[in-house]
């Protein structure tokens, strides 16, 4: 059984569906890359998995999020609190703003231990030191009483990982964890995540718009565009031979791809604005292969190997 | 440099301001129309007596020299004599520090006691009837004259309900406290309007902040997030706001002391103005200015203590 | 925006929203109406007021609110309603003149200092620091002590003390605008310094001062009535709200109406100016300082 199974998830702002038809699967120890341009719905999908959508603005309208076989969508807020931080940890793009500036790092790690496990101050402190050591912060016992602004950007991101792992969750959702960091620090943080995966058997959802990050770290991949999953499957297959034209276009835009840097192509046109998505395949106005049939919505179907693609032209091999 | 190093350096930076305060206070009394000596001796004084007093007080010197004498006297705690009370000004003021001090400190504490719950309620129940009522209070409360509010409180709590004394200051700690309740409440009601308004806005911003979201992602309940993350962060600008309003607070206490006949520095000032007791006016003004500077310094200390990022 | 106006909405807000006026305008309209009302009362006081505000009428002293005297009478038998109506003349005048002088002085000094820079600016900032070190009301009282208690002294003291807020506000904005493109353009066209300052820079930074002056009116009215209450401003028997409250304080056990109604008048006038300030701040896209 997979650790996490998302089925047919849809999120709306008022009457506008921002995200729909989201299907994701994740097993123990797997790293899933959730890829897409900004505005494709990656971040609100992650928030929806934690049921942390801003109240009164966004809500889940359909679908299920099964964690260890239990659907989180119908859970009460109180039951959900026992999931957040305990079964699923979350780290964010900007460690500067997501750590409380006036609380000591150690206390920010310890508070969920104290709340969820009722640990004593001393035990929680010990756990905090241990966690800081695990995420590779030197002199953890000394750094525990530091404030976030006394840490460098990379250290802050490590500290946030320690906060997220405080109650030993099985799943970590990492929302663009390296975007705000220097390139050298990015690699260190990614290595740390993989290291934690290996040591703790952690499953990770890694949200990113950087395919280079994906290539280095992920086992499988889900490509999102305009609120839908375009293609998903094992990383190797998707990167080597993308079935969806959008994945293909995305790959071509990456520096270091086949094309010389001087003529790095861009995908023509603009991604659609939320709520005014085109009919049928949402990529078709920008797709080089678009045809009349693309005005009908393609389903996410097997497209060779273990991959699934939502494109009328990503024909399954048997049909060929 | 250590974060609290400004405790040592700030007094040096304040020297120009303190000089300015002393110059302004000096010229305040110098600009009194008429001859201060004739004022002192009365109109029937002989020219010889006038000349003697002039020499005695150094009034025949040039202005800069007189100012230096003034400064020299100040360093010795010498602020001249009160005509009305027939005693040196400094001890006269010292006798009256306590009620004013209690009034200012008590008002600030009471303000927080009123503003924090109200702002929390309004921010957490945003858009509800309670929020509208609290916002109405913050808009209207700005325009409540403290002296009138004090009288209304007297009518309600002292005259009708008989809960608190109408005026005056007690002898022992307990009766003093009893006498201070209404004056403090008067100032606090007016001040809490502006503090509540400001605090509500920063709480709403903090509730929507990234670190509050991160705290919710840890599975902490909303009450915990509010108490441990939202509240400490939103109180920081409030300290600053209180610092800006120190001058207003002291001015308000002058009026409120008169309303409640509290024997504090404000009442001393008002009486001195009526009786043309200029040395007392000068002394009280000087002390109030220094108190303002000191309280701003305290606010800086509190800011540094509350916000680890701040360096001064 | 309109959604927010609705969510804040009482029935009045919704009414104005459907008329195409946003929440900012609701503040402006309501505040403007209150102040206009007071202005009309002040101008037409002799025609509106049922009684003479000053003449004693001892047989009718200390009457509670009733048919012949809607707000009651004071210890000299004077009609409280008439005195409140006449008081509007004084208090409105205090608010407007009391802001006008500091506004003109502060704006000019702040603009000149910010534009000239150098020692002029340094000197101004030092003076600002010193004046701001004094509690506003205490310094005003000290100045009034030297002059004579009275309305004129109040205006002089206010002009001497109140200009600092405006000077600081305008100076900060002039410093920003001084280096802006359009000022550089004007300078390159060879316009004179004074022309640039008063024709190009000042009009662009006056909005903040105007908004501030509206909330400042509230403070000035409160200061003026407080000082009059203390007996150092407007002198009896003139009908002024602060004076009336002071006179009524001796009778709070028997005649609450003498103090209550003038205070409510101050609150209502201050509320009107507060609403105007909020409305203007939103109209100009400024938050209040």
Q: Which helix (H) or strand (E) holds C125?
A: helix C118-133
| Contact at CB, C263 and B24, closer than 8 angstroms | no
> Which of B24, B145, B248, B279 should one mutate to test binding to chain C, selecting the residue with the greatest count of C CBs within 10 A?
B145
In chain B, what percentage of residues exceed pLDDT 90? 50
Q: Which of A82, A98, A147 is closest, CB to CB, to B219?
A: A82
What tokens does A116 get? 């969820």
Question: Parallel, antiparallel, or unpaired for β A16-26 and A171-175?
Answer: unpaired
Note the pLDDT of residue A238: 85
- Distance (Å) from the alpha carbon of B170 to chain C's nearest alpha carbon: 21
Tell me, yes or no, if B219 comes closer than 8 A to chain A by beta carbon.
Answer: yes
B171 plus B248 within the same structural domain: yes
Return the higher-pLDDT residue of A33 and B55: A33
Instruction: Quote the CA–CA distance of C289 and C278 in Å, as a whole number.
Output: 11
What is the SS3 string spanning B86-125?
Answer: CCEHHHHHHHCHHHHHHHHHHHHHHHHHHHHHHHHHHHHC
CATH architecture of C33-283: Orthogonal Bundle (1.10)
Instruction: Give the range of the structural domain holding residue B20, as residue numbers without chain letter.
Output: 6-90
> Is B273 a member of any domain?
no
In whole angstroms, how far apart are CA A185 and each of A160, A163, A167, A294, C198?
14, 19, 25, 42, 53
Note the pLDDT of residue C197: 82
Tell me, yes or no, if B294 comes closer than 8 A to chain C by beta carbon.
Answer: no
Residue of B nearest to A168 (CA): B218
CATH number at residue B252: 1.10.3720.10
- Distance (Å) from the alpha carbon of C46 to chain B's nearest alpha carbon: 26
Determine the Cα angle at A216 with ends A212 and A217, to 5°. Answer: 120
Q: Hey, which residues does A60 pair with through a beta bridge?
A: A11
Return the higher-pLDDT residue of C167 and B8: C167
- B23-28: Cβ within 8 A, 24+ apart: B23/B67, B23/C130, B24/C130, B24/C131, B24/C134, B25/B282, B25/B285, B25/B286, B25/B289, B26/B66, B26/B67, B26/B70, B28/B281, B28/B282, B28/B285, B28/C142, B28/C143, B28/C146
B129 plus B79 within the same structural domain: no
Q: Which of B148, B246, B258 is closest, CB to CB, to C263?
A: B148
- Window 77-106 of B, Cβ < 8 Å to C: none
| Contact at CB, A99 and B215, closer than 8 angstroms | no
Q: Which of B214, B221, B308 is closest, CB to CB, to A98?
A: B214
In chain B, what percentage of residues exceed pLDDT 70? 96
Which residues in chain A show pLDDT less than 50? 318-320
The count of residues in chain A is: 320
Note the pLDDT of residue C261: 95
Q: Which residues of B touch C274 (CB under 8 A)?
A: 139-140, 142-143
Q: Which residue has the tokens 């911003």?
A: B205
Q: Which helix (H) or strand (E) holds C97?
A: helix C80-116
> Is B294 a member of any domain?
no
| Contact at CB, C142 and B127, closer than 8 angstroms | no
What is the SS3 string spanning A42-104?
Answer: HHHHHHHHCCCCCCCCEEEEEEEEEECCEECCCCCHHHHHCCECCCEEEECCCHHHHCCCCCC
Task: Give the residue from B240, B263, B286 where a domain finishes.
Answer: B263
| Contact at CB, B142 and C242, closer than 8 angstroms | no
| Contact at CB, C133 and B289, closer than 8 angstroms | yes
The string of DSSP codes covering chain A is --SEEEEEEEEEETTEEEEEEEEEEE-TT-EEEEE--TTSSHHHHHHHHTT-PPTTTEEEEEEEEEETTEESTT--HHHHHTTBTTTEEEE-S-HHHHS-TTS-HHHHHHHHHHHHH---HHHHHHHHHHHHHHTT-SSHHHHTT--GGGS-HHHHHHHHHHHHTTT--SEEEEESTTTTS-HHHHHHHHHHHHHHHHHH--EEEEEES-HHHHHHH-SEEEEEETTEEEEEEEHHHHHHS-SSHHHHHHHHHSTTSSS-GGG----SS-PPPTT-PPSSSTTGGG-TT--GGGGSPPP-EE-STT-EE--TTS--GGG-
Please name the chains neighbouring C, where neighbouring means 3+ C-beta pairs under 8 angstroms.
B
Q: Which of C132, C134, C245 is closest, CB to CB, to B151?
A: C245
Tell me, yes or no, if C152 comes closer than 8 A to chain B by beta carbon.
Answer: no
What tokens does C38 get? 């007071």
Q: Which of B213, B228, B232 is closest, CB to CB, to A52?
A: B213
Q: Phi and psi at residue A100, in whole multiples of 5°?
A: -70, 120
What is the SS3 string spanning chain B?
Answer: CCCCCHHHHHHHHHHHHHHHHHHHHHHHHHCCCCCHHHHHHCCCCCHHHHHHHHHHCCCCCCHHHHHHHHHHHHHCCCCCECCCCCCEHHHHHHHCHHHHHHHHHHHHHHHHHHHHHHHHHHHHCCCCHHHHHHHHHHHHHCCCCHHHHHHHHHHHHHHHCCCCCCCCCCCCHHHHHHHHHHHHHHHHHHHHHHHHHHHHHHHHHHHCCHHHHHHHHCCCCHHHHHHHHHHHHHHHHHHHHHHHCHHHHHHHHHHHHHHCCCCCHHHHHHHHHHCCCHHHHHHHHHHHHHHHHHHHHHHHHHHHHHCCCCCC
B230 plus B110 within the same structural domain: yes
Instruction: Quote the CA–CA distance of A89 and A260 in Å, as a whole number.
Output: 40
Q: Which residues of C touch B258 (CB under 8 A)?
A: 229-230
Instruction: Quote the CA–CA distance of A270 and A280 in Å, as a whole number.
Output: 17
Tell me, yes or no, if C262 comes closer than 8 A to chain B by beta carbon.
Answer: yes
Q: Which residues of B touch A164 (CB under 8 A)?
A: 217-218
pLDDT per residue as tens digits for the range B184-195:
999 999 899 999
B64 plus B106 within the same structural domain: no
Determine the Cα angle at B297 with ends B281 and C102, to 5°. Answer: 55
- Distance (Å) from the alpha carbon of B285 to chain C's nearest alpha carbon: 6
Size of interface B-C (CB pairs under 8 A): 159
Task: Give the residue from B61, B90, B119 where a domain finishes.
Answer: B90
B17 plus B141 within the same structural domain: no
B124 plus B250 within the same structural domain: yes
pLDDT per residue as tens digits for the range B151-176:
999 999 988 888 888 778 878 888 88
Task: Give the residue from B90, B122, B141 where a domain finishes.
Answer: B90
Q: Which residues of B touch C38 (CB under 8 A)?
A: none
Note the pLDDT of residue A263: 60
Total domains in chain B come to: 2
Q: Which residues of C touch B32 (CB under 8 A)?
A: 146
Note the pLDDT of residue A262: 55
pLDDT per residue as tens digits for the range B219-255:
999 999 999 999 999 999 999 899 888 888 999 999 9
| Contact at CB, C135 and B151, closer than 8 angstroms | no
Query: For residue C83, how many C-alpha atoms fall within 13 Å in the half-sphere facing its CB?
Result: 33
Please name the chains neighbouring A, where neighbouring means 3+ C-beta pairs under 8 angstroms.
B
Q: Which residues of A touch B228 (CB under 8 A)?
A: 103, 111
> Is B302 a member of any domain?
no
B71 plus B14 within the same structural domain: yes
- Distance (Å) from the alpha carbon of B218 to chain C's nearest alpha carbon: 31
Tell me, yes or no, if B127 comes closer than 8 A to chain C by beta carbon.
Answer: yes
Domain extent listing, chain A:
88-168, 236-309
| Nearest alpha-carbon partner for B149 in A134, C242, A70 | C242
Instruction: Quote the CA–CA distance of C107 and C88 in Å, as a whole number.
Output: 28
Q: Which of B219, B307, B308 is closest, CB to CB, to A112?
A: B219
Q: Which of B211, B220, B228 is closest, CB to CB, to A99?
A: B211
- Distance (Å) from the alpha carbon of B55 to chain C's nearest alpha carbon: 24
- Distance (Å) from the alpha carbon of C186 to chain B's nearest alpha carbon: 38
- Distance (Å) from the alpha carbon of B203 to chain A's nearest alpha carbon: 14
Q: Which residues of C touch B147 (CB under 8 A)?
A: 225-226, 229, 242, 245
Q: Hey, which residues does A9 pair with through a beta bridge?
A: A22
| Contact at CB, B17 and C133, closer than 8 angstroms | yes
Instruction: Quote the CA–CA distance of B162 and B153 in Å, as a whole number.
Output: 11
Domain extent listing, chain C:
33-283
Q: Which of A81, A102, A164 is closest, CB to CB, to B307?
A: A102
B114 plus B220 within the same structural domain: yes
Note the pLDDT of residue C233: 92
Contact (Cβ atoms closer than 8 angstroms) between residue B285 and residue C142: yes
Instruction: Quote the CA–CA distance of C239 and C42 in Å, as a whole number.
Output: 12
Instruction: Quote the CA–CA distance of B200 and C231 in Å, as a whole number.
Output: 37
Q: Which of B32, B269, B276 is closest, CB to CB, to C138?
A: B269
Note the pLDDT of residue A256: 58
What tokens does B63 get? 């202005």
Tell me, yes or no, if B139 comes closer than 8 A to chain C by beta carbon.
Answer: yes
Note the pLDDT of residue B69: 87
B194 plus B219 within the same structural domain: yes
b/e string for B42-62 if b means 16 or more Cβ within 10 A? eeeeeeeebeebeeeeebeee
Tell me, yes or no, if C137 comes closer than 8 A to chain B by beta carbon.
Answer: yes
B82 plus B105 within the same structural domain: no
- Distance (Å) from the alpha carbon of A99 to chain B's nearest alpha carbon: 5
pLDDT per residue as tens digits for the range B283-300:
999 999 999 999 988 998
| Per-residue confidence in pLDDT tens, chain C, 289 aa | 333 333 333 434 344 444 445 555 788 899 999 999 999 999 999 999 888 888 888 888 888 888 888 898 988 989 999 999 999 999 999 999 999 999 999 999 999 998 888 899 999 988 998 998 899 999 999 999 888 889 999 999 999 999 999 999 999 888 888 887 877 888 788 787 778 888 888 888 888 888 889 889 999 999 999 999 999 999 988 999 999 999 999 898 889 999 999 999 999 999 999 989 888 888 877 654 3
Question: Parallel, antiparallel, or unpaired for β A58-67 and A70-71?
Answer: antiparallel
| Contact at CB, B143 and C270, closer than 8 angstroms | yes
| Contact at CB, A101 and B309, closer than 8 angstroms | yes
- Distance (Å) from the alpha carbon of A20 to chain B's nearest alpha carbon: 23
- Window 226-255 of B, Cβ < 8 Å to A: 228-229, 232-233, 236
Q: Which of B217, B229, B232 is closest, CB to CB, to A84?
A: B217
| Contact at CB, C139 and B285, closer than 8 angstroms | yes
Contact (Cβ atoms closer than 8 angstroms) between residue A177 and residue B214: no
Tell me, yes or no, if C156 comes closer than 8 A to chain B by beta carbon.
Answer: no
């Amino acid at each position: 059984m997979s650790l996490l199974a998302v089925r047919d998830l849809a999120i709306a702002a008022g009457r506008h569906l921002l995200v729909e038809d989201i299907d994701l699967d994740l097993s123990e120890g797997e790293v899933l890359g959730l890829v897409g341009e900004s505005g494709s719905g990656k971040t609100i999908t992650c928030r929806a998995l934690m049921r942390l959508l801003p109240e009164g603005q966004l809500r889940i309208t359909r679908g299920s999020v099964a964690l260890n076989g239990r659907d989180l969508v119908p859970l009460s807020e109180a039951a959900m609190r026992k999931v957040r931080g305990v079964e699923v940890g979350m780290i964010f793009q900007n460690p500067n703003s997501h750590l409380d500036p006036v609380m000591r790092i150690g206390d920010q790690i310890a508070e969920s231990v104290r709340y969820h496990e009722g640990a004593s101050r001393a035990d929680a402190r010990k756990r905090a030191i241990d966690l800081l050591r695990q995420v590779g912060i030197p002199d953890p016992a000394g750094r525990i009483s530091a404030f976030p602004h006394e840490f460098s950007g990379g250290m802050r991101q490590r500290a946030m990982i320690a906060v997220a792992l405080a109650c030993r969750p099985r799943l970590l959702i990492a929302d663009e964890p390296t975007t705000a960091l220097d390139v050298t620090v990015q690699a260190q943080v990614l290595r740390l995540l993989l290291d934690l995966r290996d040591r703790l058997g952690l499953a990770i959802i890694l949200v990113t718009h950087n395919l280079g990050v994906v290539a280095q770290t992920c086992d499988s991949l889900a490509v999102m565009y305009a609120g839908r999953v375009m293609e998903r499957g094992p990383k190797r297959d998707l990167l080597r031979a993308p079935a969806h034209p959008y994945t293909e276009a995305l790959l071509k835009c990456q520096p270091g791809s086949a094309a010389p840097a001087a003529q790095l192509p861009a995908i023509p046109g603009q991604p659609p604005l939320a709520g005014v998505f085109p009919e049928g395949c949402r990529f078709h106005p920008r797709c080089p292969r678009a045809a009349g049939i693309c005005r009908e919505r393609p389903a996410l179907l097997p497209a060779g190997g273990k991959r699934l693609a939502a494109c009328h032209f990503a024909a399954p091999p048997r049909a060929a | 440099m250590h974060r609290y190093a400004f405790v040592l350096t700030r007094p040096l930076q304040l020297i120009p301001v303190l000089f300015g305060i002393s110059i302004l206070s000096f010229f305040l009394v110098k600009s009194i129309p008429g001859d201060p000596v004739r004022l002192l001796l009365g109109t029937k004084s002989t020219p010889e007596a006038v000349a003697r007093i002039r020499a005695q007080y150094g009034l025949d010197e040039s202005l800069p020299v007189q100012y230096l004498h003034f400064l020299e006297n100040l360093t010795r705690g010498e602020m001249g004599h009160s005509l009305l009370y027939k005693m040196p000004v400094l001890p006269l003021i010292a006798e009256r520090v306590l009620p004013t001090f209690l009034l200012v400190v008590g008002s600030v504490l009471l303000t927080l006691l009123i503003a924090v719950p109200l702002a929390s309620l309004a921010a957490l129940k945003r858009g509800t009837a309670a929020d509208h009522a609290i916002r109405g209070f913050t808009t209207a409360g700005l325009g409540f004259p403290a002296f009138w509010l004090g009288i209304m409180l007297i009518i309600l709590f002292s005259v009708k309900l008989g809960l608190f004394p109408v005026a005056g200051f007690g002898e022992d700690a307990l009766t003093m406290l009893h006498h201070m309740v209404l004056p403090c409440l008067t100032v606090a009601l007016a001040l809490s309007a502006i503090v509540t308004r400001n605090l509500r806005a920063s709480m709403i911003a903090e509730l929507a902040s990234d670190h509050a979201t991160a705290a919710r992602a840890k599975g902490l309940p909303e009450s915990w997030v509010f108490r441990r993350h939202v509240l400490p962060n939103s109180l920081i600008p409030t300290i600053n706001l209180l610092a800006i309003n120190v001058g207003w607070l002291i001015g308000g206490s002058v009026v409120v002391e008169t309303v409640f006949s509290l024997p504090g520095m404000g009442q001393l000032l008002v009486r001195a103005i009526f009786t043309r007791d200029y040395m007392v006016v000068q002394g009280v003004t000087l002390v109030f200015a220094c108190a303002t500077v000191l309280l701003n310094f305290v606010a800086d200390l509190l800011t540094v203590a509350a916000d680890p990022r701040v360096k001064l | 925006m309109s959604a927010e106006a609705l969510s804040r909405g009482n029935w009045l807000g919704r009414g104005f929203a459907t008329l195409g006026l946003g929440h900012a305008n609701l503040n402006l309209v309501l505040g403007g109406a209150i102040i206009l009302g007071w202005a009309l009362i002040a101008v037409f006081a002799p025609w509106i007021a049922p009684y003479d505000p000053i003449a004693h009428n001892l047989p009718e002293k200390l009457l509670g609110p009733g048919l012949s005297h809607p707000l009651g009478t004071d210890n000299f038998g004077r009609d409280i309603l008439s005195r409140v109506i006449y008081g509007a003349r004084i208090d409105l005048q205090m608010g407007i003149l009391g802001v006008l002088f500091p506004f003109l002085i502060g704006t000019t000094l702040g603009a000149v200092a910010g534009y000239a820079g150098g020692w002029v600016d340094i000197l101004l900032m030092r003076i600002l620091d010193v004046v701001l070190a004094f509690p506003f009301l205490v310094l005003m009282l000290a100045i009034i002590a030297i002059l004579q208690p009275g309305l004129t002294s109040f205006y002089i003291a206010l002009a001497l003390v109140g200009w600092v807020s405006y000077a600081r506000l305008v100076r900060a904005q002039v410093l920003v605008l001084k280096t802006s493109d359009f000022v550089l353009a004007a300078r390159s066209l060879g316009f004179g310094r004074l022309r640039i300052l008063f024709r190009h820079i000042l009009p662009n930074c006056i909005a903040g001062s105007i908004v501030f002056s509206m909330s400042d009116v509230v403070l000035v009215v409160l200061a003026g009535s407080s000082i009059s209450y203390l007996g150092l401003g407007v002198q009896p028997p003139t009908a002024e709200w602060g004076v009336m409250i002071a006179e009524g304080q001796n009778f709070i056990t028997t005649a609450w109406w003498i103090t209550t109604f003038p205070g409510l008048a101050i609150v209502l006038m201050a509320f009107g100016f507060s609403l105007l300030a909020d409305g203007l701040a939103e109209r100009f896209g400024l938050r209040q300082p």
